[in-house]
Amino acid sequence: MRLTVARIGRAHGLKGEVSVELRTDIPDDRLVPGEVFETEPASAGPLTVARVRVQAGRWYVQFAEIGDRDAAEAARGVELTLDGAESDEDDAWYVHQLVGLAAVRPDGAPVGEVVDLLSMPAQDVLVVKEPNGHRAMIPFVEEFVPEVDLDGGRVVLTPPYGLLAGEEPESTGETAG
């Protein structure tokens, strides 16, 4: 099984440096000079990390195979992958494991379906598509996502009032104030 470590974002500068959207909790261990990644699509790689830097919480990578801005723009959206057997992250879930899971309240009431996992500076965010089409962004922290049940095909959500469309304060145990 292939796991995504990062997705290549925008070109940065003229020499082929790119921003990356992290999909790992241990980027310092993964994104190191000399590391070679397979890619999705496979035709875009393999890619070898030449240089890495972090600026204002954003990760930038220079790959040996990407030498100019045009090549960097062409690589946008390419995923950097590794073999799942090489993963050593504890209690980690990957986008492909979460997408499609049913999102439910602790009492089993349906909330919607997980459609994405976004890596944000403070924490990851689950994107849940509600039945009305609204996409709710739920911080992926234990307080709001106390249970991930891959075998049962669901995640349990306890988000605060206001994150889900059309809910009343009483349904979350809160009062309007």
What is the predicted pLDDT for the residue at 69?
Answer: 94
Residues 6+ apart with CB under 8 A from 132: 165, 166
What is the pTM (predicted TM-score) of this model?
Answer: 0.53
Query: Does residue 169 belong to any structural domain of this protein?
Result: no
Residues of the domain holding 10 = 2-86
Residue 16: which CATH number? Answer: 2.40.30.60
Per-residue confidence band for 1, with pLDDT thresholds at 50, 70 and 90 = low
Residues 45 and 103 in one domain: no
Q: Above 50 in pLDDT, residue 177?
A: no
Domain count, the chain: 2
Among 58, 86, 114, the domain boundary falls at 86
Among 61, 86, 111, the domain boundary falls at 86
CB 20 within 8 A of CB 11: no
Among 53, 68, 86, the domain boundary falls at 86
Query: Does residue 171 belong to any structural domain of this protein?
Result: no
Residues 20 and 79 in one domain: yes
Query: Does residue 29 belong to any structural domain of this protein?
Result: yes
Q: Above 50 in pLDDT, residue 105?
A: yes
What is the predicted pLDDT for the residue at 86?
Answer: 47
Residues 74 and 100 in one domain: no
Q: How many CB atoms lie within 10 A of CB 35?
A: 17
Q: Supply φ then ψ for residue 120, to 5 degrees.
A: -110, 165
Q: DSSP for 28-80, please give it.
A: HHHS-TT-EEEEESGGG--EEEEEEEEETTEEEEEETT--SHHHHHHTTTPEE
Residues 26 and 81 in one domain: yes
Per the structure block, which two tokens stand in for 120? 């944000």
| pLDDT tens digits, one per residue of 69-104 | 999 999 999 999 887 654 555 456 767 788 899 999
Residue 120: which CATH number? Answer: 2.30.30.240
Residues 50 and 105 in one domain: no
Residues 127 and 145 in one domain: yes
Residues 9 and 81 in one domain: yes
Query: Does residue 43 belong to any structural domain of this protein?
Result: yes
CB 146 within 8 A of CB 104: no
* Cα dihedral 61/66/67/71 (nearest 10): -110
